[in-house]
Amino acid sequence: MGTQAKIGNRLESQNRLGKLIADHYQEAREIKESGRKPIVWTTTAAPNEILWAMDFCVLFPEAYAATCGARHAAYRHCKITEDKGYEHHLCTYCRNGLGSTLADIEGLDPFDPLPAPDLLLVANNSCSLITKWWEHLSHYWNVPLIHIDTPYIIPGVPEKDVIGHIKNQIGDLIRFLEEFTGKKFDHDRLREVVKNGSESAKGYTDMIKMNKHNPAPSTYFDLMPHNFPNLVLRYKPEVADHYRLMKQEMNERIREGIVPFENMKYRVYWDGIPYWFAMRFLSKKLQSLGICLVTSAYSQLFAFDRSDPARPLDSVAENTAYFYLNRDVRYKAEYTEQLYRDYDLEAGIFAYAMTCKPFSITMHYIADYVQKKLGVLSTIIEGDLVDDTFFDEEKTGIRLETFAEALESNKPSVGKSVF
């Protein structure tokens, strides 16, 4: 990858994404005011198609936490939980969520709060703590909580049993929701929701794969926020259009030789949940070092690529069971190795999140695995999801500079001398 002449402006798709997000939250606020639909707060990979098929307004506190982090508002919510005695090292998505809830209930001016829930749904496939977070929400809001138990997909566990177990619980969920809403569940509507989801998922994964091109038409940080539509809005047919237009835009860039920034030197993998408050710092730093983040296994968390309208209930159960974070570490390491091969990556940055142990604990293993398998350089940086008190710009900067210097000196063309 050499220096390129044409540097791309911000993707037009970013503006469309901004509107999709704003419209979603605006609609949720209107629904709350009118009371025309019940509101449910759910987790990333719960069987959410069931909720959409029942015409719930579905909101995602994890996505809200990321927004609060990116808008530098999470610290307010985190501070509220600390003032209540919750400890500093508790998951900061959780602290943000509980803090905004407490602020809302106590009239303390939370940042753009999610409209209050009528119901809570949690699946423990993304995290071992999240059920406890949702339990607290249930107590604070005084609304019912439904829990979907998702055993890990690990070697030795019959996968059919796991899927069957989840499917049984989806049946229970449907019966509960019928009682809760007084409405009969509409299987035709579910098929339509899953069909929209499968088209959205295909658009999303195709879009992510555009960065296989060398030079990449976008940095991974540019693409990453576009997980939102496939996570939150995939039940709508227009979401597939968003990804189609985005793919078109990236194709045009490839055709015209447009790259995201000057002097792109290294194609690098990113592992982990982004440090939402530090995206600008990290983007600028990485660009200054010629490091182009190309892709991440984090994208796979939002793929929901098993959606199949011919088998709606089964495919919803499979999306829940096979959620990336519900897989064992060996699977993740092999998946990551394949990403390095498919995207022609030469090194990796692993972003350890100090308060997200279930996600971060695998990083050393995966970094070590790809390093040994492929002989690539890895570095682990330290920070957090939304709490900047765990992050040190100077130390992170030094790690990234050293990483770039090592990449430069390890290039075969540099020869035997270190410099």
Residue 133 in contact with residue 98, Cβ under 8 Å? yes
**Piece of 22-30, 95-103, 290-298, 408-416 that binds other proteins (CB under 8 A):** 408-416
Residue 44: burial class (beta carbons within 10 Å; 0-12, 13-18, 19+): buried
Chain-centre distance for alpha carbon 287: 22
Does residue number 399 form part of the binding site for other proteins (CB under 8 A)? yes
> Which one of residues 52, 378, 385, 387 is an interface residue with other proteins (CB under 8 A)?
378
Binding mask 317-356 for other proteins (x = CB under 8 A): -------------------------------------x--
Q: How far is the CB of 340 from other proteins (least distance, A)?
A: 17
Q: How far is the CB of 378 from other proteins (least distance, A)?
A: 8
Chain-centre distance for alpha carbon 9: 24
Dist. CA 8–CA 387, nearest whole Å: 31
Considering only residues 54-113, where is the footprint of other proteins by CB under 8 A? Answer: none
Dist. CA 139–CA 117, nearest whole Å: 12
Q: How far is the CB of 159 from other proteins (least distance, A)?
A: 34
Does residue number 406 form part of the binding site for other proteins (CB under 8 A)? yes
> Which one of residues 181, 371, 373, 374 is an interface residue with other proteins (CB under 8 A)?
371
Strands 6-7 and 258-259, bridge-based pairing = parallel
Strands 291-296 and 119-123, bridge-based pairing = unpaired
**Nearer Cβ to other proteins, position 244 or 373?**
373
Residue 380 in contact with residue 350, Cβ under 8 Å? yes
> Which one of residues 90, 216, 377, 386 is an interface residue with other proteins (CB under 8 A)?
377
Q: How far is the CB of 327 from other proteins (least distance, A)?
A: 24
Contacts of 68 (CB under 8 A, 6+ apart): 74, 77, 96, 100, 111, 276, 386
Contacts with other proteins, residue ranges (CB under 8 A): 354, 364, 368, 371, 377-380, 382, 390-392, 394-395, 398-399, 401-402, 405-406, 409-410, 416-419
